[in-house]
Amino acid sequence: MSVKIRWKKINNGVSGILVIHKEGVRKFETLGIHIKKGDPESKNLRRQVEQIRAQRELELGSLEYYRIPEFKLNQSFISYFENYHKSYTKKDVRKVKYALKKFQEFITKRGITKLRFKDVSPKLCSDFKDYLIDPKNGLSSETPYDYWKRFKGVLKVS
């Protein structure tokens, strides 16, 4: 996977295009940034194109790193979380147990009966984090952070 910049000549200057190579497929992304000959802002515009390239490469790399295998997408996330808890052997196993309990509580309150891996979205995770922080849910001090940290651990292992 790579992201490179290609400068295409236009009438009176150049235009920045990203060339993205991923899994043997090449894609082009036009940025809409045109640099005219003699433009005093050309240095800043080139720097902006390089920042976009770096950002795109980071995004693609993180998607590749956290990609969930196809066969797991339809499996139950709750079952996976329960199995993770059962096989967890470190001394903070109690925190994992209660993080699971709070997550199940959160899912039940949202009316979700079956949660698959493909349903675990960044929005759902963010909402769960907000749920933990909310004092109405009986958690205070470092406890929300501890539960959130254990939940993220489950996501990373999956």
Q: Given this model, what pLDDT does residue 100 score?
A: 92
Ranking 35-39, 56-60, 128-132, 152-156 by mean pLDDT, the lowest is 56-60
The secondary structure of the chain, three-state, reads CEEEEEEEEECCEEEEEEEEEECCEEEEEEEEEEEECCCCCHHHHHHHHHHHHHHHHHHHHHHHHCCCCHHHCCCEHHHHHHHHHHHCCCCCHHHHHHHHHHHHHHHHHCCCCCCEHHHCCHHHHHHHHHHHHCHHHCCCCCHHHHHHHHHHHHHHHC
How sure is the predictor about 71, in pLDDT bands with cuts at 50, 70 and 90?
low
Write down the pLDDT at residue 68.
Answer: 59
Kindly tell me if the per-residue pLDDT of 77 is higher than 70. yes
The pLDDT, as a whole number, for residue 104 is: 92
Parse the chain into domains and list their residue ranges: 2-65, 70-157
Fold of 70-157: DNA polymerase; domain 1 (1.10.150)
